Structure formats: structure tokens, C-alpha cells
Amino acid sequence: MNNIGTDLLFLDEVKKKNFDQRKSRYLSKTLVSSEVKLLDQNHLNFNFWLLWSLKESAYKYYMQLSGELPKLNPKAYQLMNWNSTSASMKLPNQELIELEIWNDQNFIFTSTFSKEFIHLSKHSFSSKFPIRKANDSKWKALKNRIQKTDVNIPYIQAFEKKHWVSKTHEDKCEVLSVPLEIWHAF
């Protein structure tokens, strides 16, 4: 099975989280010292939430890989390098994975790198993002097929096997990342 992890953040929502008041707590509980050094101090709030999103995507990927619900420990997912469009992260099992980054003035969307998945939503996104708008009937059919493992990892059973799915949402906007072969079957 192929694994996928995604995360979506509304930048307006993260601005409400009082980052400046909780900066030292957020940084100490989430990032290792080498990651803190990578942060651009002029854009600390944005960069912190971007790293958070990358770690969230890596966590979802690792849940699928391990088949279990690991304790949420953001420091166990270590950023190795990054630029404006991609990043490399080391997982708790020491595997190195590649992630992709998309952002604009409204959203951050991160995903583990996989050409075998499509990202879908009922909402429209800027063409900068790889998220495609799904029509209502296909969206409902897809959502109805999603099941969860005993540790709450989403998947779709099709073609006599499990196919991992990544779900991410912010407020009322949900994004589903599903294997292309599943999407084409709908």
C-alpha cells in the first residue's frame, strides 16, 4: 500500500492562536534546536506553522506506515531541509521522506510526495494548489466508502485491498487525498 499524509491550515486561523504570547512554549514542545535555527526570525509565526503542517503530514504518513497510532511527539519528526516548495523530514524510524509545500496569503497545504494520489475538496482553491474541486455526487460516494482501522487510520477497501486515504480539514473545508485508481473508479 502507498502512504500519504496531508495537512491544511488557514492562515487567518493560525493568526488567532497568539503565537507571540506562546512562542517559547510552542518552539520548545515542537521543534528540535536544529529546526529552530532554520526559522527565519522575520517570519517566525508563518515559518513555525509551516513546520507544524509538515510535521502533521509526516505524522499521518507514519501512522499509515506503522499501522498504529503513535504518541504525538512533534520532535520525533525532524526537518532535514526545506525551501519554498519542498522539504525532507526524518521519521521516528529514521526513514527520510520528501514533502511538498503550497501556500498563498490564505492557506498552507503540505503533502508527502506521491504522484499516485489526487487531492480533492468540495471547495475551490487557487490554481497554485494541487487540490481539485470534486462534484457533489462523486464527493459523497467517496466519503461513504471511507472506513477506519481500529486505530482510526482512514482507508478505502477496493480491488480486494486497502488503499490509504489522508483527510485534513480546517474549519468547514475538508481535503481528501485518495489514490488515483480509486478516484478514477468513481
pLDDT of residue 61: 96
The pLDDT of 40-56, averaged and rounded, is 90
Residue listed under C-alpha cell 475551490: 124
C-alpha cell at 54: 509538515
Q: What is the pLDDT of residues 92-149, one digit of tens each?
A: 999 999 999 999 989 999 999 989 999 999 999 999 999 999 999 999 999 999 999 9
Q: Supply the pTM of this predicted model.
A: 0.93
- CA atoms lying within 13 Å on the CB side of residue 45: 12
Q: Residue 20 and residue 165: Cα distance in Å, rounded? A: 34
Chain mean position to CA 42 = 25
Q: What is the pLDDT of residues 17-28, one digit of tens each?
A: 777 778 888 899
Nearest to 50 by CA among 60, 64, 40, 63: 40
What is the percent of the chain where pLDDT is above 70? Answer: 99
